[in-house]
Amino acid sequence: MDDLTLDIPSGGVIGLVGPNGAGKSTLIRMLLGLIRSTDGSATVLGEPISAPARYASRVGALIESPAFVPGLSARANLTSLARLRQLPIARVDEVLSVVSLSGRDREPVSRFSLGMKQRLGIAMALLPDPELLVLDEPTNGLDPAGIVEIRMLLQGLAQAGRTVLVSSHLLAEIEAACNHVVVIRSGSLLFSGPMSELLARTRAHIDIRAEARTRHRPARGLANGSRMGGPA
């Protein structure tokens, strides 16, 4: 991070956007206490990131690809995690309903599509009923239908009163779901504010470029002095 200073609002969907290598994952890991910053300070839910134990129980996170036991069902994976974290087993049914996997919860995860696995990963992050949900590239690798599913899920979570921080290297993937957006590049802040303000600064244009250069060739025809037809 290069002297990155920002204030993320509570409530709604906050998009953390930047190209690959911009520092999104590094920033998220710092906020979650997974890595230590070399300088500066930050707070999560009012608590300093130097003491992540103070806020860890109030935060749910999905970093990179979710990890499951492929041979177990979605329900079994969630139940095992709930018992490991000493969370109410009743939360399993609740989060399955939230991510729309209730009808597929007894199938082995190995049969799930990538989009279903992402939703199951979000269900795992929701088990502790967190105030803040942090999702690192949740739409990465998904087809358009899967992206729409995740987008609708994020909107539903925000409407339920949660704060959702979601990162992506493509603004278009999360534009429709975000209330607030933070744009970074090479660890520096480019923009932080409402999505409507960012869109107001943009303008539509079309770039046109030929796929390949073509050389002009003269039309083929009869050479001077030639005649058509056979001998008289």
Above 80 in pLDDT, residue 203?
no
Q: Per-residue pLDDT tens for 36-93?
A: 888 888 889 989 988 999 999 999 999 877 788 999 999 999 999 999 999 999 999 9
pLDDT tens figures, 118-169: 999 999 999 999 999 999 888 888 888 888 888 888 889 888 889 999 998 8
Q: How many CB atoms lie within 10 A of CB 6?
A: 13
Q: Which of 159, 83, 172 is nearest to 124 (CA)?
A: 83
Contact 18, 184 (CB under 8 A): yes
Polymer length in residues for the chain: 232
Q: How far apart, in whole angstroms, are the C-alpha atoms of residue 97 and residue 157?
A: 12
Domain ranges of the chain: 12-200
Rg (CA), the chain: 26
Q: Give the C-alpha separation, 207 to 219, whole Å.
A: 31
Assigned CATH for 12-200: 3.40.50.300
In sequence order, the β-bridge partners of residue 45 are none
What is the percent of the chain where pLDDT is above 90?
36
CA distances from 67 to 11, 118, 147 (A): 28, 10, 20
Write down the pTM of the prediction: 0.80
